Amino acid sequence: MTRKQRRAAFIVLGLAILGAAVGLVLYNLSSSIVFFYSPSDIAEKGISPGERLRLGGLVEKGSVVKKDSTDVSFTVTDFGDSIRVHYSGILPDLFREGQGVVAEGELEPDGTFKADTVLAKHDEKYMPPEVAAALKKRGDWQGDEDFGKPHTEKYGEGSYP
C-alpha cells in the first residue's frame, strides 16, 4: 500500500468511526428530546410498561390520596386522558390539586405510573408551554393568551412574577 492509499484509508476509517459515534449519540438522545408526555400522548403512542419517561399535566382536583407522610397517589390529566400516579417521597411545597406537575418514572403493567421524582410548577400563573399547547390543541384552554409566558415588561427578560 502506498503512502497515499494508507492516508486515504485512515481518513475513511476515521470518518466511519466519527459517523458511528454521532449516530449512537443521536440515537441515545432521541428519548430525551421530549421533555414530557401528556396522558393523551401516552395513550396514542402505546408506550410499553417499564419504559422510563416524564408524565406532564395537571393534578386532577379531588384525586390526591395520602396513605402516610410519604406515600401519595394522584391523577394527572390533560382533560382528554388521565393517568393515576403513585409516588413515595416528599412532595414539592408547591404541589397542589389543579396545578401543573411533571412526574418522572415508569409506566406499570396495570396502566398506572410509578414516579420516583415529582416536579411542581413554581408559580400559580405559570404553566409549562407544552401543557398549555396540549390544552389549546384539545380545546380545553381556559386561560388568557399571556398565560404561561414570561412577564418581561414588568420583571425583565426571562423572569416570571
Q: State the average pLDDT for the chain.
A: 80
Could you read off the pLDDT of 53-78 as tens digits, one per residue?
A: 889 999 998 999 998 888 999 999 98
CATH number 2.40.340.10 is the correct assignment for the domain at 39-147: no
List of E strands, the chain: 52-59, 65-66, 71-77, 82-88, 100-107, 113-120
DSSP reduced 3-state for 108? coil
Confidence class for position 143, pLDDT limits 50, 70, 90: low
Grid cell digits, residue 160: 416570571
Give yes or no for residue 118 having a pLDDT over 50: yes
The model carries a pTM of 0.59
Decide: 155 and 95 in contact? Cβ < 8 Å.
no
b/e for 55-79, b at 16 or more Cβ within 10 A? bbbbbbeeebeeeeeeebbbbbbbb
